[in-house]
Homo-oligomer: A and B are copies of this chain.
Amino acid sequence: MRPKLTDVAKRAGVSSTTVSRVINNYGYLSQKTKDKVFAAMHDLNYQPNSLARSLHGKSTKLIGVIFPSITNPFFAELVEQIENKFFNAGYKVILCNSADNKEKERAYIRMLIANQVDGIITGAHNLGIDEYNKVGLPIVSFDRKLSEQIPIVSCDNYQGGWIATEELYHAGCKHIYFLGSAMRKGHPTDYRLNGYQDAIKKLDLTAHVHSVAFSESATIKSVSIRKLLETHNPDGIMCTDDLTAVLVLQMAQKLNIRVPQDLKVVGFDGTKFIQDYHPELSTIAQPIPDIAALLVNLLQQRIAEPDKKLSQTQYVLPVKFIRSSSTFRL
């Protein structure tokens, strides 16, 4: 059996009250007693049972982090940074992969509530606003409006769409296509689409929106991309994410379309992973470390003062264009 507080007390030859005082560092304590107690804790390899502490009222220091998946490098990097920052702040992260599944997301939220987490960061987008509203816990959302009470952090998706389009134009493209999941109401890619559309209008070009669901497999996406490349004649494509952009580059090579001469491609996300392993791709980079830091800070604030009125509900962080050889001949 795991040692408990009374075992430590016995071993140290003090009362259990004293041990608790040492652990929680309150009241009057002599250095001598502290040392004795710490020694006993060490000898027994004692860890206070956090269930019991939390049950009494102390917070659990547990955070639920819900994202659709972690196999997408963007989410992986974001989640890893979030996890790291929370670890440094003494929190533990329960990983929840919602897998774009409404039921799973709902089940996760129930589970998180049951486990008395201190707060939730969610980057999943399946549930309705009302469901999130009645959670009754500090929540911070990534990239999607959930309710008036829930702060949202995102990059400047609109600006990203705009810049990508403009960059393609300045690189000489006249037939610029938008490729990605379009028209899922409230979805962040919508803003990227808006940015694209407005830029196209300003540039006096025609908009071409080619839709592929974000959740489709790479193979299916590739088929759709092949069709796009073969039947239409794009000279520029802005993709709503880097992985789709990589598939475009792949297909272009297969079809002997020269990049960037005949076709220019811009991605979106700009993970460290893509920069390392697909340095040829021009992309709109989201500031992942900043996003993670802000999400974590905001949630900690909400935890500290749950009832404080939100001074701001939207936090939009700037994106950065990374120019590389998929748009620009070096």
Contact = CB atoms under 8 A, between A and B. Distances in A.
Contacts of A83: 95, 97
A147 interface: no
Interface in A54-80: 54-55, 60, 62, 65, 69-71, 73, 76-77, 79-80
A94 B95 contact: yes
Interface of A: 2, 45, 47-52, 54-55, 60, 62, 65, 69-71, 73, 76-77, 79-80, 83-84, 87, 92-95, 97, 99, 104, 107-108, 110-111, 113-116, 134, 136, 217-219, 243, 246-247, 250, 272-273, 276-277, 279
30 contacts: A2-B113, A45-B134, A50-B115, A51-B51, A51-B54, A51-B55, A51-B60, A51-B115, A52-B55, A65-B95, A70-B70, A70-B80, A71-B76, A71-B77, A71-B272, A73-B76, A76-B76, A84-B99, A87-B97, A87-B104, A87-B107, A92-B94, A92-B111, A92-B115, A93-B94, A94-B95, A95-B95, A218-B277, A219-B276, A246-B277
A71 B83 CA distance: 12
A139 to B, nearest CB: 15
